[in-house]
Chains A and B, each alone.
Chain A
Amino acid sequence: MMQHIATQGPSASPIFGNGERANRLKSTKFGGRLVNDYWDNLFSAREQGKMVVWYNGTYIPPFFHAHDLAWVHGEAWSAYLAAKHGEIPAQKAGEQWGYDRELCSYARTHIGQALIDLQKLNDGTLGIAPDDPRAETMRKLPAPDMIINAYPYCSSGQQWDDITYRLFGKKVPMFTISIPLLWGGRTDAGYLRGDEWNERSRYVADQLMAMTRFIEEHSGRKYDFDRLSEVMSYVKRAAELRLEAMDLCTTTPSPASFFDWIVSIAPVNFLPGDQNLVTYFEGVKAEIQQRIASGEGAVKDEKYRLFFDGMMNWNKVGWLADKFAAVNACVVAGRYTHMSFWQEPQLIDLKDPVLGMAQNYLICPNNHGAPIMIGEIEKICEKFNVNGMVMHASRTCRGMTNSQFLIADSAKRNGRQALFFEGDVADESFYKDELLNTRLEAMIESMDAQRRAA
């Protein structure tokens, strides 16, 4: 649901570009159904007798799924509200509590919503009109039985859960996993190699094992690692299909765009690990193959191929997809989509998946020091024949804005144009449309000039 509502926003300004719209993949609609089912199941978790885990950070739901727990991903919940344009009451509640709007908008939306829920519990009201359609969604989120934090890199994640823990009166058991930064300063450091990589992989794997003991303790049931392997078999296959489908987009014109991969994040990030995930990515891959056969692109008359750097602006998914299409630019890849979410599935040994899972959590795109991260970005840009970089400076997400100037420098060194625009993950007020219009037009002109000169 999140993705589909996100893509139903207003189209890019009619005075901008040629009026073309993005040619979205049809197969992603199945993901909308899966997302709907996920939230429906979650909202009825209590009736199903399931315990509910609130978690933040990386893609640890397979651990919950294997143990028959229901789970709420804080970022996904905030993105869901933002995509439904229902984030404002939650953000207002956070502001009234004393939060500054420079605070991570995922966190203040999620915490703000928890504040509304607590208020509702206390006095039987929601803080917004009972007949407001948003109220229906908001009153459904079940409170946590456990809180688990597993945030790579960011210093905002554990504080966010710490506050949730306090809001619920410090009565909900909480477990925090540290996913340390791979600084890459030692002489043997590199992508997936070196002493630091080996050490840190084991460190995170040990913490994940401790998390299963925590889950056992608070659910009163033994953890089933065979079931985890089974769940991961679907996740791994889905991840392989996703990467195979992404690789097909090196074709010109690109049959799918960054925005199709954005709406495909839920299946690799927080949906249950079952056959549906495999079916979803089989469908996406098949449609991409079919488009290649017929020469159909994600953008009509593709002239420019771009890379999107930064966190997604969940209020603007469809809006931005159309904006780039309107100047014949296909955003073919991005740091958020192409460098995370089970990015190295071959590391996962299905007989003993935990170490490989830990390693996939460690290689979150902003969890590497800049030299290694930028090296990986450059490889993707080469592979996808990228002409320019679009840098989304997401105002309240320092995790993704760190190193963006260094990334832009590397783009320029490699003959690629780069533009910056400011926005945010879940706070629409930071996005300024005309700034992006002007900068995008200027970049298009520069790329044209570059081609003429060549």
Chain B
Amino acid sequence: METVLSVLEEVAARPLAYARQWKEATGRKVIGLFPMHFPGELAHAAGGLPIILQEDDEPITIGQSNVFNFYCGYNRSIIDQALRGEFAVLDAILFGDHCVQLLGTADVIRANVPQLPILFNQLCSILDAEWAMRETQGTFRRLWHELEVLIGHPIDEGRVRESIRLFNRNRSLIRQLYDLRRAGRISLTGRQMQAVVKSSMVMDKAEHCALLEQLMAQLKARPPAPGVRVFLSGHLCHAPKLAVLDLVEECGGIVVDDDLYHGFRFIFADIDETAPPVDALAEWYLSRSKKVPCPTRAVKDLDWEDYLLKAVQASGAQGLIVLLAKFCEPHMYFYPEIKAAFEKRGIPHLMIETEHEEMPIEALKTRLETFMEIARRRAAA
């Protein structure tokens, strides 16, 4: 088990190194994807390796010349990596998200790395609009065609179905880990769980599935040590710092569930394997944010706080930790409602604003210890 996890951790820590090795070994194209809603299945069916571009841990240096310091860490890091030449391994970037900062980031990359094709297919962000299905299907049809032009050959519908099946298999395996962890039967740490999901965003899916199957076989039922059961929420686009996840556990917390992008949000929804692929992809996209709300999408009948209240209850968590990446504007809008809902119901919650650089870990430790103490007392009361 430790060996499998160490492989996943290595890929998660150095995703571009993995992509370079894969490209060298296969001679095929590596396609970068921007988070959070764009499917990798089409790029995979085209014979490429879709990798979700990740924030790295390097301090922003050269990128500072092209992005303001009031942009989120993910965007600043992506620009910095592009300007440092880290994306030389990529043959294209696909994106279609609706975060205003990400759109600016794509433009900076286009200007500074002009040889790198960027395919933009903007997803309809109003999920309950009467035109949402038609527009989303059109988006994926256009993407399909543009990928064929990029790759230089047609993409067979059968191959897309195979990719969908493989990706579903991968998601299903990760969900099994989530189910076991939620049920208290295994004790994967926050760090380990992130490695599982983040490596899935990068690695060849067949290889990743094989590793997950090994991991499942080796996993022993081992309930976690006693502690305060917590639910992690937020942190869109990029992975929370491992030091923050470690600290939650060092302070007496046990993470039992989450809605992080580098977590449950990434793997909870499958794509219909029987429907025509474009229809299936569109349905997947339109329905997923209705199940796990995303603040970058607009859906009238769905509230993040209601979802969180139910999810926290279902997981048996004793408290909620909201991880808010500094300058993440969509998330900022919805935090007050979450705060109000949890306060109203007397469920302990803590908001931690995270930064790309200079996370004040010692100050955070005090806050987390206090939070755990409050959660313990409330649980005992």
Q: Kindly provide the distance from the CB of B378 to the nearest chain A CB, expressed in whole angstroms.
A: 21
A183 touches B100 (CB 8 A): no
A159 within 8 A of B: yes
Chain B residues near A153 (CB-CB < 8 A): 100, 103
The interface stretch among A123-131, A216-224, A342-350, A400-408 is A400-408
**Are A159 and B295 within 8 A (Cβ)?**
yes
Within 8 A of A (CB), among B287-342: 295-296, 298, 300, 303, 326-327, 329-330, 332-337, 339-340
| Contacting pair B298 A176 (CB below 8 A) | yes
Given known contacts A158-B298, A398-B71, A185 and B125 CB-to-CB distance under 8 angstroms: no
| A193 to B94 alpha-carbon distance, docked (Å) | 23
A154 contacts which of B68, B100, B130, B339 (Cβ < 8 Å)?
B100
B329 near A104 with CB under 8 A, answer yes
Is B189 on the interface with A (CB-CB < 8 A)? no
The residues in A between 361 and 409 inclusive whose CB is less than 8 angstroms from any CB of B are 369-371, 393, 395-396, 398-399, 401-406, 409
Q: Is A174 interfacial (CB-CB < 8 Å)? A: yes
Give every chain A residue within 8 A of B71 (Cβ-Cβ). Answer: 398
Task: Tell whether, in the assembled complex, residue B300 and residue A98 are in contact, meaning their CB atoms are under 8 Å apart.
Answer: no
Write out the residue numbers on chain A whose beta carbons fall within 8 Å of the beta carbon of B122. Answer: 180-181, 183
B135 to chain A: closest residue by CB: A203
Are A183 and B120 in contact (CB-based, < 8 A)? yes
> B126, A176: Cβ atoms under 8 Å?
yes
B67–A405 CB distance below 8 A:
yes
B125 and A370 contacting across the interface, CB-CB below 8 Å? no
| Interface locus among B107-115, B165-173, B180-188, B258-266 | B107-115
Q: Is B118's CB within 8 Å of the partner chain A?
A: yes
On whether A98 and B335 interact (CB within 8 A), knowing A166-B303, A181-B122, the answer reads: yes
Residue pair A102, B98 in contact (C-beta under 8 Å): no
Which chain B positions have C-beta within 8 A of A154? Answer: 100
User: Given A401-B68, A405-B67, does the pair A176, B333 have CB atoms closer than 8 Å?
Assistant: no
- Determine whether the beta carbon of A185 is less than 8 Å from that of B118: yes
Given contacts A176-B298, A398-B104, A406-B107, contact A98 B330 (CB under 8 A): no
- Contact between B65 and A156 (Cβ–Cβ < 8 Å)? no
CB pair B120 A185 closer than 8 Å: yes
Beta-carbon contact of A178 and B330 below 8 Å: no
**B124 contacts partner chain A, Cβ-Cβ < 8 Å:** yes
Q: Which residues of B contact A419 (CB under 8 A)?
A: none
Docked-complex contact B125 and A156, CB < 8 angstroms: no
Q: Are A405 and B303 in contact (CB under 8 A)?
A: no
Partner of A402, one of B100, B124, B326: B100
Q: Are A178 and B300 in contact (CB under 8 A)?
A: no
**For residue A158, which residues in chain B have a CB less than 8 angstroms away from its CB?**
125-126, 298
**In-complex Cβ contact of B104 among A203, A206, A402 (8 A):** A402
Per the CB 8 Å criterion, the residue count for chain A at the interface is: 46
Q: Is A207 an interface residue (CB 8 A)?
A: yes
Q: Does B99 lie at the interface of the complex (its beta carbon under 8 Å from any beta carbon of A)? A: yes
Tell whether, in the assembled complex, residue A170 and residue B300 are in contact, meaning their CB atoms are under 8 Å apart. yes
Please give, as numbers and ranges, the residues of chain A lying within 8 Å of B135 by CB-CB distance. Answer: 178, 203
Residues in B with CB closer than 8 Å to A442 are none
Residues 102 to 156 of chain B near chain A (Cβ within 8 Å) = 103-104, 106-108, 110-111, 118-120, 122, 124-126, 129-131, 135
C-alpha spacing A206/B120, complex, angstroms = 22
Does B192 reach chain A (CB closer than 8 Å)?
A: no
Q: A86-108 CB contact bits vs B (8 Å, 1 = yes)?
A: 00000000000111101110010
Residues of B within 8 A of A102 (CB): 70, 326-327, 329, 332
Contact A99 B336 (CB under 8 A): yes
A404 to B122, CA, bound (A): 22
Q: Who on chain A is nearest to B139 by CB?
A: A180
Nearest residue, chain B, Cβ from A173 = B300
Q: Are A166 and B337 in contact (CB under 8 A)?
A: yes
Contact of A98 among B107, B129, B298, B336 (CB under 8 A): B336
How far apart are A402's CB and chain B's nearest CB, in angstroms? 3
CB-CB under 8 A from B126, the residues of chain A are 158, 176, 178
Contact of A370 among B100, B110, B303, B337 (CB under 8 A): B110
Say how far B71's CB is from chain A's closest CB, in angstroms.
7
Are B329 and A406 in contact, CB atoms less than 8 angstroms apart? no
In the complex, the chain A residue whose C-beta lies closest to that of B70 is A395
CB–CB B110/A371 < 8 A:
yes
A163 sits at the interface (CB 8 A): yes
What is the bound-complex CA distance between A448 and B290, given in angstroms? 59
Nearest residue in B to A96 (C-beta to C-beta)? B336
Give 1 or 0 for each of A143-175: 1 = CB within 8 Å of chain B CB.
Answer: 000000000011110111011011000100010
* Nearest opposing residue in chain B for A195, CB measure: B142
Q: CA of A99 to CA of B126 in the docked complex: distance in angstroms?
A: 23
> B337: shortest Cβ distance to chain A, in Å?
7
Q: Is A286 an interface residue (CB 8 A)?
A: no
Q: Which residues of B contact A98 (CB under 8 A)?
A: 335-336, 339-340
Residues of A within 8 A of B130 (CB): 210
* Pairwise interchain contact A406-B108, C-beta atoms closer than 8 A: yes
Closest residue of chain B to A115 (Cβ to Cβ) is B336
- Which of B66, B100, B131, B329 has the most chain A CB atoms inside 10 A of its CB? B100
Given contacts A185-B119, A405-B67, A406-B108, whether A174 and B300 have CB atoms under 8 Å apart is yes
Determine the distance from Cα of A161 to Cα of B99 in the docked complex, in whole angstroms: 16
CA distance A341 to B333 in the complex (A): 28
Residues of B within 8 A of A107 (CB): 333
A residues 181-226 in Cβ contact with B at 8 Å: 181, 183, 185, 203, 206-207, 210
Give A403 to B71 CA distance when docked, in angstroms.
12
Given A98-B339, A398-B104: A103 and B67 interface contact (C-beta under 8 Å):
no
* A156 close to B118 (CB less than 8 A): no
Give the residues in chain B near A398, CB-CB below 8 Å. 71, 100-101, 104, 329
Residue of B nearest to A162 (CB): B298
How near does chain A come to B294, taking the closest CB pair, in angstroms? 11
Looking at A107, A174, A403, the one whose CB has the most chain B CB atoms below 10 A away is A403
Sample of 4 more A-B contacts, CB < 8 Å, known A163-B334, A183-B120, A396-B70: A166-B337, A180-B122, A185-B119, A402-B104
Give me the interface of B with A, judged by CB distance under 8 Å: 65-68, 70-71, 98-101, 103-104, 106-108, 110-111, 118-120, 122, 124-126, 129-131, 135, 295-296, 298, 300, 303, 326-327, 329-330, 332-337, 339-340, 353
By a beta-carbon cutoff of 8 Å, the part of chain A in contact with chain B is 97-100, 102-104, 107, 153-156, 158-160, 162-163, 165-166, 170, 174, 176, 178, 180-181, 183, 185, 203, 206-207, 210, 369-371, 393, 395-396, 398-399, 401-406, 409
A selection of 15 A-B contacts at a CB cut-off of 8 Å is A99-B336, A153-B100, A155-B98, A155-B101, A156-B100, A158-B125, A159-B334, A162-B300, A162-B333, A183-B106, A185-B120, A370-B108, A371-B110, A398-B104, A406-B111
